[in-house]
Every structure is written in structure tokens, then in C-alpha cells.
């Protein structure tokens, strides 16, 4: 069993070996949606779970704040991921340019002087491309899905 580091465990006890089933220490109600659901129960966040009838107001407010902060943290993570995807697109555009240049240079005499250097950079590009292919694919899939959802 992993460590119970979540703040929610201050307010609930596991029922048996099932981490999803947690009994509220304040009102003895058993919630079945894991530790997050128990926190919602005590924080009086409605929708998913019945509100705790015994939780003091201070505790409810504190947990609500806690849950909102972790939601903000998740949104920040998502933003950061989007920024990464944008920069990968920029880089892949750059790599495409380099490819076009080097293939035309290989056709003339001067090309041989730089052949070794070019070979290396082409290898690097290939590795980069391979590494990026997956993330790019994911980004495009996401874009595709968003477009579909917008009904365009």
C-alpha cells in the first residue's frame, strides 16, 4: 500500500483494503470515489457527492481552497504542455527547411566539401524527427479532435 500523503487522509479512513471506499471521520458516511471524492464531500463541492453534514465551516473552506489550488496547478501543467507542442512545431518547420537546402546542395560540386558535416547533421535531424514524430502526431490528433468538436 502506498503512502497516504494526501491531506484528505486526515479526514477519512479506508474501508477494508479498497482505497476507493473511504469513511468520513467527521460524519461516518462512506464515500466510494477515492480520496478526491472524500475531499469534495468535506469541502461541500456539490455534484459528485453528498456534502458532509458534520464538517466545520473552517475545514470545508480550507479543503475547498486546497482543491481549487490543485485544479489551478493542473491547468498550468496543461498550458505548459501546449507551449511545448508549439515549440516542437517551430523546430520541425526549421528541420524541413534544412532538408530542402541540403538535398539541393548535394547535387553540385561544392556539396562534397561539406558532405561529412552534412551527413552528421542529417543524422541528427533524423533522430530529432523520430523523437518528434510521436509528439507531433499527438498534437495533430488533438487539433483534429478540436476541429471536429467545433463543427468546422
Provide the binding-site residues for Zn ion, judged by CB under 5 A. 24, 26-27, 29, 52
Query: Which one, 43 or 139, has the nearer CB to Zn ion?
Result: 43
Give, in order, the Cα–Cα distances in Å from 59 to each of 24, 56, 71, 73, 97.
13, 5, 18, 21, 58
> In the chain, what's the furthest Cα-to-Cα distance?
84
Query: Which one, 29 or 85, has the nearer CB to Zn ion?
Result: 29
Cell 458532509 sits on residue: 52
Distance of closest approach, residue 129 Cβ to Zn ion, in angstroms: 54
Q: What are phi and psi of 5, to 5 degrees?
A: -85, -15
Query: Which one, 55 or 139, has the nearer CB to Zn ion?
Result: 55
Distance of closest approach, residue 4 Cβ to Zn ion, in angstroms: 18
Query: Which one, 42 or 139, has the nearer CB to Zn ion?
Result: 42
Distance of closest approach, residue 11 Cβ to Zn ion, in angstroms: 8
Rounded Cα gap, residues 17 and 12, in angstroms: 14
Amino acid at each position: 500500500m502506498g503512502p497516504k500523503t494526501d491531506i484528505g487522509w486526515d479526514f477519512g479512513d479506508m474501508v477494508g483494503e479498497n482505497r476507493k471506499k473511504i469513511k468520513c471521520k467527521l460524519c461516518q458516511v462512506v464515500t466510494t470515489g477515492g480520496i478526491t471524492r472524500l475531499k469534495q464531500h468535506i469541502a461541500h463541492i456539490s455534484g459528485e457527492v453528498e456534502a458532509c453534514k458534520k464538517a466545520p465551516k473552517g475545514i470545508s473552506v480550507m479543503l475547498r481552497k486546497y482543491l481549487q489550488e490543485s485544479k489551478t496547478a493542473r491547468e498550468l501543467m496543461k498550458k505548459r504542455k501546449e507551449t511545448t507542442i508549439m515549440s516542437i512545431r517551430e523546430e520541425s518547420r526549421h528541420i524541413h527547411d534544412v532538408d530542402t537546402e541540403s538535398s539541393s546542395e548535394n547535387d553540385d560540386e561544392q556539396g562534397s566539401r561539406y558532405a561529412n558535416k552534412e551527413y552528421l547533421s542529417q543524422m541528427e535531424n533524423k533522430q530529432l524527427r523520430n523523437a518528434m514524430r510521436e509528439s507531433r502526431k499527438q498534437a495533430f490528433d488533438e487539433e483534429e479532435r478540436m476541429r471536429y468538436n467545433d463543427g468546422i
